[in-house]
Amino acid sequence: MAGRYSAKEVAAALEISLSTLSKYVMALEAAGFRFETGKCNARLFDEKELATLRRMIETASSEKLPPGQAANLIGQNAFFSVIDNRLCALEEQQAHILAMHTELAEKIARLPTQRVPDYTPPPFLSFPRQKGGFLRFLSK
């Protein structure tokens, strides 16, 4: 099977009835999964969705769970998988940033050091501070 499949084709591939497929799909949608719809709002399935349905059927039968609980379990596993993928991506980015930091620190260490002379302002910029306000009046 390749491409998009109708509900009838998926039910035949999974060896279940259309009503059972509908229950499974509704349970998965309640758990957060989304299925593409075609003309007249008919659901279309791809290989990934077919694999998800197979996994749900296997989980429901092996764990002896109703479809809704099996769908929630698969949804949690999918959610944790997404989180794991994102964490791995962040760890890779962190490793890359640390490598760049190390490289930059090495480049900075290789820069020639120059002594910057101390700056003292020229004497014409040093003005005597005048007394202000009432103290200025008293000094006259």
Q: Are 13 and 1 in contact (CB under 8 A)?
A: yes
pLDDT (tens digit per residue) in 6-25:
888 888 888 888 888 888 88
96 located within any domain: no
Q: How many CB atoms lie within 10 A of CB 78?
A: 15
Report yes or no on 13 lying in a domain.
yes
Count of structural domains, the chain: 1
- Rounded-to-integer distance, Cα 63 and Cα 37, Å: 30
Q: What is the CATH classification number for the domain harbouring 76? A: 1.10.1660
By CB atoms closer than 10 A (0-12, 13-18, 19+), residue 102 is exposed
Domain span including residue 63 = 7-85
Give tens-digit pLDDT for 37-65: 777 777 888 888 888 888 888 887 787 87
Kindly give, in sequence order, each residue whose CB lies less than 8 Å from that of residue 73, ignoring residues fewer than 6 positions away: 59, 63, 65
Q: Does residue 4 contact residue 36 with C-beta atoms inside 8 Å? A: yes
In this structure, is residue 119 part of a structural domain? no
Residue 33 and residue 55: Cα distance in Å, rounded?
Answer: 13
4 confidence band (pLDDT: 50, 70, 90): confident
d(CA 128, CA 133): 16
Per the listing, tokens 């302002």 go with 121
At 127, phi and psi to the nearest 5? -100, 145
The predicted model scores a pTM of: 0.51
- Is 55 a domain residue? yes
